[in-house]
Amino acid sequence: MSGFDNVNSDFYQTSYSIDDQSQQSYDYGGSGGPYSKQYAGYDYSQQGRFVPPDMMQPQQPYTGQIFQPTQAYTPAAPQPFYGNSFEDEPPLLEELGINFDHIWQKTLTVLHPLKEVDGSIMNETDLAGPMIFCLAFGATLLLAGKIQFGYVYGISAIGCLGMFCLLNLMSMTGVSFGCVASVLGYCLLPMILLSSFAVIFSLQGMLGIILTAGIIGWCSFSASKIFISALAMERQQLLVAYPCALLYGVFALISVF
Amino acid sequence: MATAAMAYGSSIASHGKDMVNKELHRFVSVNKLKYFFAVDTAYVAKKLGLLVFPYTHQNWEVQYNRDVPLPPRQDLNAPDLYIPTMAFITYVLLAGMALGIQKRFSPEVLGLCASTALVWMVIEVLALLLGLYLATVRSELSTFHLLAYSGYKYVGMILSVLTGLLFGSDGYYVALAWTSSALMYFIVRSLRTAALSPDSMGGPSSQQRVQLYLTLGAAAFQPLIIYWLTFHLVR
């Protein structure tokens, strides 16, 4: 298990260009040769992502030796260096980029549709929360006897793509696909409530229609609220809410029928 | 080597994205397309009202700002693509729902409905382009303008289908007649002034006549296509 995989796995995902690597092969410790210039340097600031200031590393090649734990190396700045040994590896969730606190905050934002939303919460696009919600939606549909994971994924993919094109055309600043998918996935949460109701009693009566309409309105209202504040679009909330309502309407159709 | 693979994957992804963007920009000018989506809620509401009741609107001229047409936010007469796109998607979903109510629904039928409507739209836009080209009419109407004007009929289609579902076959025919005449009036009034560029005062009168015939032909085509695409939903 090479320890060098851990160097880049801090919480804010970064990537380094493959050109920095001049030598691809590992030199395993049989002959114990020097492990020269494996990485030319880590330039965190190139990619324009979130860079916490304490993570900036100077451009220094790592000239330690693999599998020789007694080799002395000095990191140039005091920073959390994830070394070779097992105990120094970052926790799994941090490595995967799943932060339960952020997921919970965004969920609360969706659940309180009348609260003012801050536009910056969507700056880090995480797809872990939406994935959980999609799976939960499929699971509640399964409980009601409808095995339709394929439709759920297909419709969400097409819907996300359509919303992405529309929002890019309608807003002044562009929007990334991950942001659109993340917002739409989080606002799927009330739909899970609807499909869990469908397990208990059938939604095809008048009460079911009113409940469905209310939940579609709730989902699309919170989705459009987040989009409007994140993209600074003025006087267009209803225009953004309508395609979201169409998308969630299709999900509701799956739940009801 | 996981991080190396991830970096390679992300560089491949960004390379692919650049390639897609380049190809897309060769066919579609995104800035020109953005003009048609610069709408706000007030414009959409007024335009929908205009599509249903155009008889009292006085001024149909598209306003210009130093030879550049004003975006739809600031000019009610400017065409937009938001309403046609949303109306098309709503029409497809409504068709699926109507067929579902009649117990004739299956996902293939939805795709069939969508592709039929799309093909008729493409045929109409191509026919209009051909007509404009053959008549050597010099006008400001680009493909997107024609797409917008031929997409406004979906609003009428949705209204007809809804009325038909709520009030039965008679309601459907009444709504069909009303929306068809409103749409014909709307298209004739809009295209008559939109087809003329702002600095020309009409050109030779034979050209003007051909333009008029084209506009009338396009308008007369609308009720036929509305009927053709909706009657099987309101059986």
Instruction: Give the tens place of pLDDT for each residue, A156-195.
Output: 888 999 999 999 888 888 888 888 888 888 888 888 888 8
Separation in Å, CA A212 to CA A83, A194, A216, A257, B88: 53, 7, 6, 12, 23
For the ranges A61-70, B107-116, B170-179, the lowest mean pLDDT is seen at: A61-70
CA distance A231 to B95: 33
Letter for the amino acid at B124? Answer: E
Q: What pLDDT is attached to residue A164?
A: 92
Q: What pLDDT is attached to residue B133?
A: 81
State whether A166 and B37 contact (CB < 8 Å).
Answer: yes
Separation in Å, CA B48 to CA A5, A147, A180, A256, B101: 58, 40, 28, 30, 27
Is residue A243 assigned to a domain?
yes
Q: What pLDDT is attached to residue A42?
A: 42
State whether A16 and B7 contact (CB < 8 Å).
Answer: yes
pLDDT classification of B175: cutoffs 50, 70, 90: very high
Residue with tokens 């919480």: A11
Separation in Å, CA A230 to CA A157, A171, A179, A217: 21, 10, 10, 20
Mean pLDDT of all residues in B34-56: 89
Write the pLDDT tens digit of every residue in A99-147: 777 777 778 877 877 777 666 666 667 777 888 888 888 888 888 887 7
Q: How many CB pairs under 8 A join A and B?
A: 59
Is residue A216 assigned to a domain?
yes
Q: How far is CA A229 from the centre of its chain?
A: 19
Is residue A160 assigned to a domain?
yes
State whether A18 and B8 contact (CB < 8 Å).
Answer: yes
Give the number of domains in chain A: 1
CA distance A37 to A22: 7
Q: How far is CA A250 from the centre of its chain?
A: 23
Q: Pick the residue with more confidence: A123 or A252?
A: A252
pLDDT classification of A21: cutoffs 50, 70, 90: very low
Q: What pLDDT is attached to residue A77?
A: 47
Is residue A14 assigned to a domain?
no
Q: What pLDDT is attached to residue A199?
A: 84
> Rounded to 5 degrees, what are φ and ψ at B162?
-60, -45
Shortest Cα–Cα distance, A54 to chain B (Å): 21
pLDDT classification of B77: cutoffs 50, 70, 90: confident
Q: What pLDDT is attached to residue A14?
A: 52
Is residue A78 scored above 80 in pLDDT?
Answer: no
Dihedral Cα B133, B136, B137, B138, nearest 10 deg: 100
Task: Give yes or no for a contact between B123 and B221, defined as CB atoms under 8 angstroms apart.
Answer: no
Is residue A234 assigned to a domain?
yes
Q: Pick the residue with more confidence: A99 or A240?
A: A240
Is residue A59 assigned to a domain?
no
State whether B3 and A243 contact (CB < 8 Å).
Answer: no
Write the pLDDT tens digit of every residue in B109-134: 778 888 888 898 899 888 888 888 87
Q: What pLDDT is attached to residue B90?
A: 92
State whether A21 and B93 contact (CB < 8 Å).
Answer: no
Is residue A165 assigned to a domain?
yes
State whether A15 and B44 contact (CB < 8 Å).
Answer: no
Write the pLDDT tens digit of every residue in B219-228: 888 888 888 8
Report the DSSP beta bridge partners of residue B69: B64
pLDDT classification of B59: cutoffs 50, 70, 90: confident
| Residue B41 sits at the chain A interface (C-beta within 8 Å) | yes
State whether B7 and A239 contact (CB < 8 Å).
Answer: no
Closest residue of chain A to B92, computed from CA coordinates = A246
Mean pLDDT of all residues in B139-144: 77
Mean pLDDT of all residues in B227-231: 85
Q: Which are the contacts of B39, defined by CB distance < 8 A and separation ≥ 6? A: A170, A236, A239, B72, B73, B80, B82, B83
**Which range marks the domain in which residue A164 is found?**
124-256
Among candidates B4, B41, B86 on the partner chain, residue whose Cβ is nearest the Cβ of A243:
B86
Among candidates A8, A234, A237 on the partner chain, residue whose Cβ is nearest the Cβ of B3:
A8
Mean pLDDT of all residues in A25-29: 43
State whether B33 and A169 contact (CB < 8 Å).
Answer: yes
Is residue A13 scored above 60 in pLDDT?
Answer: no
Average pLDDT of the residues of chain A = 71
**Which residues of B are less than 8 Å from A249 in CB distance?**
93
Q: What pLDDT is attached to residue A45?
A: 41
| Residue B10 sits at the chain A interface (C-beta within 8 Å) | yes
Is residue A106 assigned to a domain?
no
Is residue A23 scored above 60 in pLDDT?
Answer: no
Write the pLDDT tens digit of every residue in B188-206: 888 877 655 444 455 567 7
Q: What pLDDT is attached to residue B181?
A: 92
Is residue A38 scored above 90 in pLDDT?
Answer: no
> Rounded to 5 degrees, what are φ and ψ at B145?
-60, -50
What whole-number percentage of chain A has pLDDT above 70?
61
Q: What is the DSSP string of chain B?
A: -HHHHHHHHHHHHHHHHHHHHHHHHHH--HHHHHHHT---HHHHHHHHHHHH--TT----PPPEETTEEPPTTT-TTS--SHHHHHHHHHHHHHHHHHHHHTT---HHHHHHHHHHHHHHHHHHHHHHHHHHHHTT---S--HHHHHHHHHTHHHHHHHHHHHHHHHHHHHHHHHHHHHHHHHHHHHHHHHHHHSS-SS----SHHHHHHHHHHHHHHHHHHHHHHHHHHGGG--
Average pLDDT of the residues of chain B = 83
